[in-house]
Amino acid sequence: MQETELPLQLRDFWFIAAASRDLRGAPVARTILGEPVVLFRDGSGRAAALRDRCAHRNMRLSAGSVRDGAIECPYHGWTYRGDGTCARIPSLEGDPPPHVRVDSFPTREHDGFVWICLGDPASREPFRFPHAGEEGWTTFTMTTRFEAGAFSCLENFLDVPHTVYVHQGWFRNRAARPTRAVVRAERDGAAVAFDEEPEKESVVARLLFPRGGRLEHTDRFVLPAISRVDYRFGPDRHFIITSQCTPVSEHETDVYTVITFRFGRISPLVRLWFEPLSRKILRQDIEILREQTAQVKRFGGPKFTYVASDLLGPHILRHWKDAVAHREPLVSETAVTIVF
Protein backbone atom coordinates (compact mmCIF):
# COMPACT_ATOMS: atom_id res chain seq x y z
CA MET A 1 0.00 0.00 0.00
CA GLN A 2 1.34 3.46 -0.90
CA GLU A 3 2.13 6.22 1.60
CA THR A 4 -0.80 8.25 0.34
CA GLU A 5 -3.36 5.43 0.78
CA LEU A 6 -2.42 4.21 4.28
CA PRO A 7 -4.14 6.95 6.35
CA LEU A 8 -7.54 6.03 4.92
CA GLN A 9 -7.25 2.66 6.72
CA LEU A 10 -7.06 4.21 10.22
CA ARG A 11 -10.76 3.78 10.98
CA ASP A 12 -10.31 2.71 14.62
CA PHE A 13 -8.83 6.10 15.61
CA TRP A 14 -10.41 9.44 16.49
CA PHE A 15 -10.20 12.36 14.06
CA ILE A 16 -11.52 15.90 14.23
CA ALA A 17 -14.69 16.17 12.14
CA ALA A 18 -15.50 19.85 12.70
CA ALA A 19 -15.03 22.81 14.98
CA SER A 20 -17.74 22.93 17.67
CA ARG A 21 -18.84 26.36 16.44
CA ASP A 22 -19.64 24.86 13.00
CA LEU A 23 -22.48 22.80 14.49
CA ARG A 24 -25.27 25.29 14.94
CA GLY A 25 -28.59 24.87 13.13
CA ALA A 26 -27.87 23.42 9.69
CA PRO A 27 -26.41 19.94 9.09
CA VAL A 28 -22.69 19.88 8.31
CA ALA A 29 -21.31 17.63 5.55
CA ARG A 30 -17.80 16.20 5.87
CA THR A 31 -15.75 13.50 4.19
CA ILE A 32 -13.51 11.65 6.63
CA LEU A 33 -11.20 8.83 5.50
CA GLY A 34 -13.22 8.86 2.26
CA GLU A 35 -16.50 8.33 4.18
CA PRO A 36 -19.33 10.88 3.64
CA VAL A 37 -20.64 11.93 7.06
CA VAL A 38 -23.34 14.34 8.22
CA LEU A 39 -23.02 16.07 11.59
CA PHE A 40 -25.72 17.83 13.59
CA ARG A 41 -26.79 18.42 17.19
CA ASP A 42 -29.39 16.01 18.56
CA GLY A 43 -32.22 16.81 20.96
CA SER A 44 -29.84 17.01 23.94
CA GLY A 45 -27.33 19.22 22.10
CA ARG A 46 -24.85 16.36 21.66
CA ALA A 47 -22.87 16.21 18.40
CA ALA A 48 -24.30 13.38 16.27
CA ALA A 49 -22.62 11.82 13.23
CA LEU A 50 -24.40 9.64 10.64
CA ARG A 51 -23.37 8.16 7.31
CA ASP A 52 -24.54 10.77 4.81
CA ARG A 53 -26.95 8.50 2.91
CA CYS A 54 -30.69 8.16 3.46
CA ALA A 55 -31.82 4.54 3.92
CA HIS A 56 -34.77 5.13 1.57
CA ARG A 57 -33.33 6.24 -1.78
CA ASN A 58 -29.77 7.22 -0.85
CA MET A 59 -30.29 11.01 -0.82
CA ARG A 60 -27.68 13.13 0.97
CA LEU A 61 -29.02 13.78 4.46
CA SER A 62 -26.69 16.77 4.70
CA ALA A 63 -28.86 18.43 2.03
CA GLY A 64 -31.81 18.25 4.44
CA SER A 65 -32.58 20.11 7.63
CA VAL A 66 -32.43 19.62 11.38
CA ARG A 67 -35.80 19.64 13.17
CA ASP A 68 -36.23 19.09 16.90
CA GLY A 69 -32.80 17.43 17.16
CA ALA A 70 -33.36 14.99 14.26
CA ILE A 71 -32.32 15.22 10.63
CA GLU A 72 -34.94 15.28 7.88
CA CYS A 73 -34.16 13.98 4.39
CA PRO A 74 -34.98 16.54 1.67
CA TYR A 75 -36.53 13.94 -0.70
CA HIS A 76 -39.46 12.29 1.15
CA GLY A 77 -38.95 13.63 4.66
CA TRP A 78 -37.76 10.48 6.43
CA THR A 79 -36.30 11.71 9.69
CA TYR A 80 -33.43 10.18 11.72
CA ARG A 81 -32.35 10.60 15.33
CA GLY A 82 -28.72 11.09 16.40
CA ASP A 83 -28.30 7.34 16.95
CA GLY A 84 -29.36 6.61 13.35
CA THR A 85 -32.82 5.20 14.18
CA CYS A 86 -35.74 6.45 12.13
CA ALA A 87 -38.13 8.75 14.00
CA ARG A 88 -40.63 9.45 11.24
CA ILE A 89 -41.74 8.39 7.76
CA PRO A 90 -44.34 11.00 6.74
CA SER A 91 -46.04 8.81 4.13
CA LEU A 92 -46.47 5.89 6.53
CA GLU A 93 -49.23 5.48 9.05
CA GLY A 94 -47.83 4.54 12.45
CA ASP A 95 -44.23 4.17 13.61
CA PRO A 96 -41.34 3.44 11.22
CA PRO A 97 -40.29 -0.24 11.13
CA PRO A 98 -37.28 -0.86 13.44
CA HIS A 99 -35.02 -2.06 10.61
CA VAL A 100 -35.07 1.40 9.03
CA ARG A 101 -31.91 3.18 10.14
CA VAL A 102 -28.63 4.67 8.95
CA ASP A 103 -25.19 3.98 10.42
CA SER A 104 -24.13 6.26 13.24
CA PHE A 105 -20.61 6.94 14.52
CA PRO A 106 -19.40 7.76 18.05
CA THR A 107 -18.39 11.36 18.74
CA ARG A 108 -16.60 13.29 21.44
CA GLU A 109 -16.40 17.03 21.93
CA HIS A 110 -13.67 18.99 23.72
CA ASP A 111 -11.14 21.79 23.19
CA GLY A 112 -13.63 23.38 20.74
CA PHE A 113 -13.65 20.41 18.32
CA VAL A 114 -15.98 17.52 17.48
CA TRP A 115 -14.14 14.19 17.11
CA ILE A 116 -15.40 11.10 15.32
CA CYS A 117 -14.35 7.47 15.08
CA LEU A 118 -15.56 5.53 12.03
CA GLY A 119 -14.55 2.11 13.40
CA ASP A 120 -14.06 0.64 16.84
CA PRO A 121 -12.17 3.01 19.16
CA ALA A 122 -11.91 0.29 21.87
CA SER A 123 -10.62 2.13 24.94
CA ARG A 124 -8.93 4.92 22.96
CA GLU A 125 -9.94 8.51 23.58
CA PRO A 126 -9.24 11.51 21.33
CA PHE A 127 -6.01 13.48 21.63
CA ARG A 128 -5.98 16.44 24.03
CA PHE A 129 -4.25 19.59 22.80
CA PRO A 130 -1.48 20.47 25.28
CA HIS A 131 -2.21 23.49 27.54
CA ALA A 132 -5.15 24.62 25.34
CA GLY A 133 -7.33 26.96 27.38
CA GLU A 134 -5.07 26.77 30.44
CA GLU A 135 -4.46 29.86 32.55
CA GLY A 136 -1.28 31.65 31.52
CA TRP A 137 -1.37 30.22 28.01
CA THR A 138 -2.69 31.92 24.86
CA THR A 139 -4.34 29.74 22.22
CA PHE A 140 -5.54 30.31 18.69
CA THR A 141 -6.64 27.85 16.03
CA MET A 142 -6.49 27.61 12.25
CA THR A 143 -8.39 25.21 9.97
CA THR A 144 -6.94 24.57 6.54
CA ARG A 145 -7.75 22.29 3.61
CA PHE A 146 -4.50 20.99 2.10
CA GLU A 147 -4.41 19.51 -1.39
CA ALA A 148 -2.11 16.76 -0.12
CA GLY A 149 -2.41 13.43 1.65
CA ALA A 150 -2.03 13.18 5.42
CA PHE A 151 1.43 11.66 5.13
CA SER A 152 2.79 14.57 3.11
CA CYS A 153 1.20 17.08 5.50
CA LEU A 154 2.63 15.44 8.63
CA GLU A 155 6.06 14.96 7.15
CA ASN A 156 6.11 18.60 6.10
CA PHE A 157 5.02 19.88 9.53
CA LEU A 158 7.77 17.82 11.20
CA ASP A 159 10.51 18.36 8.65
CA VAL A 160 13.32 20.79 9.41
CA PRO A 161 15.37 20.78 6.15
CA HIS A 162 12.54 22.27 4.05
CA THR A 163 12.39 25.35 6.26
CA VAL A 164 15.70 26.56 4.79
CA TYR A 165 14.11 26.71 1.34
CA VAL A 166 10.32 27.03 1.62
CA HIS A 167 10.46 29.49 4.54
CA GLN A 168 13.75 31.08 3.59
CA GLY A 169 14.94 33.62 6.18
CA TRP A 170 12.04 33.00 8.57
CA PHE A 171 13.70 30.20 10.61
CA ARG A 172 17.12 29.44 9.19
CA ASN A 173 19.39 30.52 6.36
CA ARG A 174 21.55 28.49 4.00
CA ALA A 175 24.67 28.70 6.23
CA ALA A 176 24.10 25.12 7.37
CA ARG A 177 25.75 23.57 10.43
CA PRO A 178 25.64 20.09 11.96
CA THR A 179 23.13 19.68 14.78
CA ARG A 180 22.73 16.74 17.15
CA ALA A 181 19.32 15.13 17.36
CA VAL A 182 17.93 12.18 19.29
CA VAL A 183 15.12 10.22 17.60
CA ARG A 184 12.88 8.18 19.88
CA ALA A 185 10.36 5.67 18.54
CA GLU A 186 7.60 5.46 21.14
CA ARG A 187 4.51 3.29 21.53
CA ASP A 188 2.12 5.99 20.31
CA GLY A 189 4.43 7.87 17.92
CA ALA A 190 7.96 9.16 17.54
CA ALA A 191 9.87 12.26 18.61
CA VAL A 192 13.04 14.12 17.66
CA ALA A 193 14.80 16.32 20.22
CA PHE A 194 17.25 18.83 18.75
CA ASP A 195 20.03 20.57 20.61
CA GLU A 196 20.16 23.75 18.62
CA GLU A 197 21.08 27.37 18.79
CA PRO A 198 18.47 29.54 17.08
CA GLU A 199 19.57 31.17 13.85
CA LYS A 200 20.14 34.71 15.16
CA GLU A 201 19.48 36.43 11.86
CA SER A 202 16.17 34.71 11.22
CA VAL A 203 12.89 36.63 11.57
CA VAL A 204 11.47 34.14 14.08
CA ALA A 205 14.55 34.20 16.35
CA ARG A 206 14.69 38.01 16.39
CA LEU A 207 11.04 38.19 17.38
CA LEU A 208 10.90 35.30 19.85
CA PHE A 209 14.41 35.04 21.25
CA PRO A 210 16.00 38.50 20.96
CA ARG A 211 18.61 37.73 23.63
CA GLY A 212 19.92 34.61 21.87
CA GLY A 213 20.88 31.46 23.78
CA ARG A 214 19.90 27.84 23.50
CA LEU A 215 16.61 26.58 22.28
CA GLU A 216 14.91 23.31 23.21
CA HIS A 217 13.20 22.13 20.06
CA THR A 218 11.21 18.90 19.80
CA ASP A 219 9.25 17.54 16.83
CA ARG A 220 6.78 14.80 17.63
CA PHE A 221 4.41 12.55 15.68
CA VAL A 222 1.46 11.16 17.65
CA LEU A 223 -0.91 8.49 16.34
CA PRO A 224 -3.06 8.62 14.35
CA ALA A 225 -2.12 11.80 12.47
CA ILE A 226 -0.93 14.54 14.80
CA SER A 227 2.22 16.65 14.66
CA ARG A 228 3.44 18.58 17.67
CA VAL A 229 6.34 21.03 17.53
CA ASP A 230 7.68 22.54 20.76
CA TYR A 231 10.01 25.52 20.99
CA ARG A 232 11.02 26.20 24.56
CA PHE A 233 13.34 29.00 25.59
CA GLY A 234 13.89 29.34 29.32
CA PRO A 235 11.21 28.71 31.95
CA ASP A 236 8.51 31.12 30.71
CA ARG A 237 8.74 31.09 26.91
CA HIS A 238 7.19 28.08 25.28
CA PHE A 239 5.49 27.71 21.90
CA ILE A 240 3.57 24.58 20.90
CA ILE A 241 2.23 24.13 17.38
CA THR A 242 -0.04 21.09 17.13
CA SER A 243 -1.69 20.02 13.89
CA GLN A 244 -4.31 17.28 13.74
CA CYS A 245 -4.66 15.95 10.20
CA THR A 246 -8.03 14.52 9.17
CA PRO A 247 -7.66 12.57 5.92
CA VAL A 248 -10.45 13.51 3.50
CA SER A 249 -9.26 11.48 0.55
CA GLU A 250 -5.95 10.15 -0.74
CA HIS A 251 -4.86 13.64 -1.77
CA GLU A 252 -6.84 15.96 0.51
CA THR A 253 -6.46 16.64 4.23
CA ASP A 254 -8.26 18.93 6.65
CA VAL A 255 -5.65 20.28 9.07
CA TYR A 256 -6.76 21.65 12.44
CA THR A 257 -3.86 23.62 13.90
CA VAL A 258 -3.83 24.71 17.54
CA ILE A 259 -1.11 27.16 18.54
CA THR A 260 -0.61 27.50 22.27
CA PHE A 261 2.07 29.63 23.86
CA ARG A 262 3.17 31.53 26.91
CA PHE A 263 5.44 34.48 26.73
CA GLY A 264 5.19 36.01 30.15
CA ARG A 265 2.93 38.99 30.66
CA ILE A 266 3.00 40.13 27.04
CA SER A 267 1.50 36.92 25.58
CA PRO A 268 -1.64 38.72 24.25
CA LEU A 269 0.61 41.20 22.40
CA VAL A 270 2.75 38.42 20.98
CA ARG A 271 -0.35 36.97 19.33
CA LEU A 272 -0.78 40.18 17.29
CA TRP A 273 2.20 39.32 15.13
CA PHE A 274 2.54 35.58 15.81
CA GLU A 275 -0.86 34.77 14.28
CA PRO A 276 -0.26 36.51 10.92
CA LEU A 277 3.27 35.05 10.85
CA SER A 278 1.86 31.55 11.40
CA ARG A 279 -0.67 32.05 8.61
CA LYS A 280 2.03 33.22 6.22
CA ILE A 281 4.20 30.16 6.95
CA LEU A 282 1.13 27.92 6.54
CA ARG A 283 0.40 29.45 3.12
CA GLN A 284 3.93 28.64 1.99
CA ASP A 285 3.45 25.00 3.04
CA ILE A 286 0.02 24.83 1.34
CA GLU A 287 1.65 25.94 -1.90
CA ILE A 288 4.64 23.55 -1.83
CA LEU A 289 2.39 20.60 -0.92
CA ARG A 290 -0.04 21.47 -3.71
CA GLU A 291 2.91 21.33 -6.12
CA GLN A 292 4.08 18.01 -4.66
CA THR A 293 0.60 16.46 -5.02
CA ALA A 294 0.36 17.63 -8.63
CA GLN A 295 3.65 15.83 -9.32
CA VAL A 296 2.52 12.65 -7.52
CA LYS A 297 -0.66 12.59 -9.64
CA ARG A 298 1.22 13.46 -12.83
CA PHE A 299 3.50 10.45 -12.40
CA GLY A 300 0.72 8.09 -11.30
CA GLY A 301 1.71 7.76 -7.63
CA PRO A 302 4.46 8.61 -5.16
CA LYS A 303 8.03 7.40 -5.54
CA PHE A 304 9.86 8.67 -2.48
CA THR A 305 13.52 8.21 -1.52
CA TYR A 306 14.41 8.24 2.16
CA VAL A 307 17.80 9.23 3.63
CA ALA A 308 18.96 9.45 7.26
CA SER A 309 18.00 13.12 7.57
CA ASP A 310 14.35 12.28 6.80
CA LEU A 311 13.89 11.80 10.51
CA LEU A 312 10.21 11.15 11.16
CA GLY A 313 8.60 10.13 7.84
CA PRO A 314 9.69 6.47 8.09
CA HIS A 315 8.42 6.31 11.70
CA ILE A 316 5.00 7.65 10.65
CA LEU A 317 4.69 4.96 7.99
CA ARG A 318 5.84 2.20 10.31
CA HIS A 319 3.34 3.24 13.00
CA TRP A 320 0.50 3.29 10.48
CA LYS A 321 1.42 -0.13 9.12
CA ASP A 322 1.61 -1.52 12.68
CA ALA A 323 -1.76 0.06 13.57
CA VAL A 324 -3.50 -1.37 10.49
CA ALA A 325 -1.97 -4.83 11.18
CA HIS A 326 -2.76 -4.56 14.95
CA ARG A 327 0.95 -5.04 15.72
CA GLU A 328 2.73 -3.71 18.79
CA PRO A 329 5.14 -0.92 17.72
CA LEU A 330 8.86 -1.21 18.50
CA VAL A 331 10.47 1.28 20.88
CA SER A 332 13.98 2.59 20.15
CA GLU A 333 16.34 5.55 20.53
CA THR A 334 18.90 6.72 17.97
CA ALA A 335 21.29 9.67 17.93
CA VAL A 336 21.83 11.33 14.57
CA THR A 337 23.55 14.41 13.21
CA ILE A 338 21.55 16.49 10.78
CA VAL A 339 22.85 19.46 8.82
CA PHE A 340 20.61 22.51 8.48
Residue 54 C-beta: closest distance to ligand FES, Å: 3
Residue 92 CB, nearest approach to ligand FES (Å): 11
Q: Is the CB of 72 or the CB of 250 nearer to ligand FES?
A: 72
Single-letter amino acid, residue 240: I
The residues of the shown chain that bind ligand FES, judged by CB under 6 A, are: 54, 56-57, 59, 73, 75-78
Least distance to ligand FES, CB of residue 61, Å: 8
Distances (CA, A) of 324 to 9, 107, 321: 7, 21, 5
Helix (H), strand (E) at residue 272: helix 267-298
Q: Kindly provide the b/e burial profile for residues 210-246, where b requires at least 16 CB atoms within 10 angstroms of the residue's own CB.
A: eeeeebebbbbbbbbbbbbbbbebeeebbbbbbbbbb
Q: Which is nearer to ligand FES, 100 or 182 (CB)?
A: 100
Residues near 173 by beta carbon (within 8 Å), at least 6 away in sequence: 164, 199, 201, 202
CA 20 to chain centre: 15
Give the whole-angstrom CA distance, residue 82 versus residue 185.
40
- Give least dist CB 58 to ligand FES, A: 6
14 vs 78, beta carbon nearer ligand FES: 78
Report in angstroms how near the CB of residue 41 gets to ligand FES at its nearest.
20
Cβ proximity to ligand FES: between 96 and 161 the closer is: 96
Nearer to ligand FES, 77 or 169 (CB): 77
* Cβ atoms 149, 3 nearer than 8 A: yes
